[in-house]
Amino acid sequence: MKPLLDRGPSLPLRLFFALLASVGLITLDHYTNSSVQLRGYLTATVSPLFYLANLPQDMVFGASEQFMSQQKLLEENRTLKDTLLLQNGQLQRFQFLQQENDKLRALLGASPVTEGKRLIAEVLAVYSHPFSHQIVLNKGSRDGVIVGQPLIDDLGVLGQVVSVGPSSSRALLIADNTHAMSARVERTGQSVVAEGIGQSDSLRLIHLPHSTDISEGDRLLTSGLDGVFPEGYPVAKVVRVHRDARQPFLQVTAEPYAKLDRIRYALLVWPHQGISSADPQIVEELKQAEQGQD
Amino acid sequence: MQNSWRFLIIHLTLLLALLLNVMPLPAAVKLFRPDWPLLVLCYWVLALPNRTSIGTAFVLGFLVDVMVGTVLGVNAFGYSLICFIVAANHLKIRNFSVLQQSLLFGLLLALYHLVVFWFSHFLTGVYFRAAYLWPVATGMIVWPYLFWFLRRTRRQFKIQ
C-alpha cells in the first residue's frame, strides 16, 4: 500500500487551511452583503441537483395519477366542480365589495388596494434543517422573481424569497429563526411582530406589554407595515398567552395557518407598484360628484 | 479499466449521498434523516485516505451548505474536522469491528452536530432541542449497512 499522503502538505496543515477557509466563508456570508449575489449564483449552480433529487417523488406521484381509477377521477372532478361553483359565487360578491371598497377609499383620499401579478411555483425541496427553514422553488429570475418577494399558499403566508437564480429561487419561511414580520391582530387592530423560532408549527410575538388585549384564538393578519408582505393575508392563530409578571413582556405563541412542513405548491405574489391607479372610472365619477356639489 | 474512471465512482457515491440529503421526505421521518454525505465521506476516508482527504471534505461540506441553506462554511468546517479525525486514526478505526465503528461514528456525528449547532447558535441564535440529535442515532444504525454496501462497490470496481 502507498504511504499515507505521499505528496502535498501534511494532514494538520490541510485541516488548518480548511478551517481557516471555513471561518472566512462564515464571516463573508454572515457579516457582509456580497453573499446575497454569491448565494444566487450558487443556488443556480446546484439547481439541477434539486431537480434530480425531486425525480423519485415526481415519479411516484405520476404513477399514482396514472393508476387512479375512472370512478375516483369522476368523483374528484365532481368535488372540484362543486368547489369552483361555490367559490365563483363568493367571488361575485367579492368583486362587488372590492368595487365598493375602492370607491370608499377614493372618497377618503386613500390609495386603493390593488392586486398584483401572481405565479404558481412548485417546491423543489423543503429543507427544514432544524437551523434553517427554507424552500427551493422552480421559478427564478427568468419568470420575474425578485428578492424579497412574498410567498403565500391557500391557507396563509409562507415566507419571502431570499435568493434568486435563473430557473430556481430560495425562500425563507416565516418559521425560520432569522425571520420576523409585522402582523396585526384582526380583532383589535394591535400591531405585533411575529418572529420565527425554528419550529414549523409556532411563532413568537415579541415586545407586547402586559396590558395588551390579546387572547387565545385571535387571528393575526399581515399589516403591510414591513413593506414586504401585502396587507390582509392570514398569518397565524394565537394559541398560548402566558402572563407572567416577572417577565418584562407577555409571552405569546402563535401557530401559522400554512402547513410549513408540507408545502408542495406556493403562490408568488408581486407587490403592487407604488400608489398605483385607482379605477379611472371611479375617479371620474368622484370628480363629477364634486363638481356637482360646488 | 482506466484508473481515473474508477475514481469517478467515489464522486458518484458522494453525489448520490448529496441527493439523498435533500430528497423531499414526509415531515414525520424528516427529522430522522441520517447525514448521508458525511457517512459516505467517512467510509472513503477510512478506506482510501490518500484519495479522499480534507480537500474533498471541505468541498462536500460547502455543497451541503449551499443546498441546505445554512450559513456558508458551517458544514464545511464540521466536515473538515470529522474528516481529519478519521484520516488521522484510519489505521486504528479499520481494525475495529463494524459495531465498534458504528459506536465511534455515533460519537463523531454527535461532535459534528454540536459544532454545527454551536455555530448556528452564535450566528442566528437557535435554541437546542434534543430532537436535533436524532440523525446521530439513525446514522449509527445505518453505518453497518452503508459500510457493507460501499465495500462491495469498492471491491467490485477495484478502486484503490
Residue A276 has pLDDT above 60, yes or no: no
Residue B105 binned pLDDT confidence (cut-offs 50, 70, 90):
very high
Name the pLDDT band for A30 (thresholds 50, 70, 90): confident
Rounded to an integer, what distance in angstroms lies between the CA atom of residue B9 and that of residue B37? Answer: 14
* A199-204: average pLDDT: 87
- Which candidate from A18, A131, A170 shows the least CB-CB separation from B54? A18
Q: What share of chain A is helix, strand, coil (3-state, %, to 5)?
A: 35, 25, 40
A176, HSE (Cβ side, Cα atoms, 13 Å): 24
pLDDT band at A114 (very low <50, low <70, confident <90, very high): low
Residues 120-149 of A with CB under 8 A from B: 123, 125-132, 134
What is the predicted ipTM?
0.84
| pLDDT tens digit sequence for A227-271 | 888 888 999 999 999 988 898 999 999 999 998 877 888 999 886
| pLDDT beyond 50 at A1 | no
- Rounded to the nearest 10 degrees, the angle between the axes of helix B54-68 and helix B3-22 is 30
Please tell me the distance from the alpha carbon of residue A256 to that of residue A237, in angstroms, as a whole number. 6
Please list every residue in chain B whose beta carbon sits closer than 8 Å to the beta carbon of residue A195: none
Q: By mean pLDDT, which of A185-199, B27-41, B93-107, B118-132 is the weakest?
A: B118-132
**CA distance to partner chain B, nearest, from residue A236 (Å):** 20
What is the mean pLDDT of the segment spanning B124-153? Answer: 88
Q: What is the dihedral of CA A95, A96, A102, A107, to 10 degrees?
A: 180
- When scoring B67, B74, B83, B92 by the number of chain A Cβ atoms within 10 A, the one with the most, hence best to mutate, is B67
Q: Which three cell numbers stand for residue A121?
A: 411555483
Q: What is the mean pLDDT of residues A26-44?
A: 77
How many percent of chain A have pLDDT more than 70? Answer: 84
What integer pLDDT is reported at residue A67 of this predicted model? Answer: 79
Higher pLDDT, A36 or A158: A158
Contact between chains at A26 and B123 (C-beta distance less than 8 A): yes
Q: Structure pTM?
A: 0.75
Strand partners, A252: A205, A241
pLDDT band with cut points at 50, 70 and 90 for residue B150: very high
Residue for grid cell 477495484: B158
- Which of the four pLDDT bands, split at 50, 70 and 90, describes residue A292? low
Residue B136, pLDDT score: 93
In Å, how far are A50, A72, A143, A198, A227 from A269, measured between CA atoms? 23, 33, 12, 24, 13
Q: At residue A220, what are phi and psi to the nearest 5 degrees?
A: -110, 130
Q: Does B50 touch chain A (CB under 8 A)?
A: yes
Structural domains present in chain A: 33-67+115-271 (2.40.10.340)
Task: Identify which has the larger pLDDT, B140 or B4.
Answer: B140
Least confident of A108-117, B10-19, B81-90: A108-117
Kindly determine whether residue A53 and residue B22, on different chains, have CB atoms separated by under 8 Å: yes
3-state helix, strand, coil in chain B (%, to 5): 80, 0, 20
Residue A274 has pLDDT above 50, yes or no: no
Q: How far apart (Å, rounded) are the C-alpha atoms in residues A214 and B30? A: 34
| Burial track B142-156 (b if 16+ CB lie within 10 A, e otherwise) | bbeebbeebeeebee
Which residues make beta-bridge pairs with A256?
Answer: A236
Give A128's contacts in chain B (Cβ within 8 Å): 30
Confidence of residue A286 (pLDDT cuts 50, 70, 90): low
Decide: A268 and A189 in contact? Cβ < 8 Å.
Answer: no
Percentage of the residues of chain B whose pLDDT score is greater than 90? 53
Q: Is the pLDDT of residue A277 over 50?
A: no
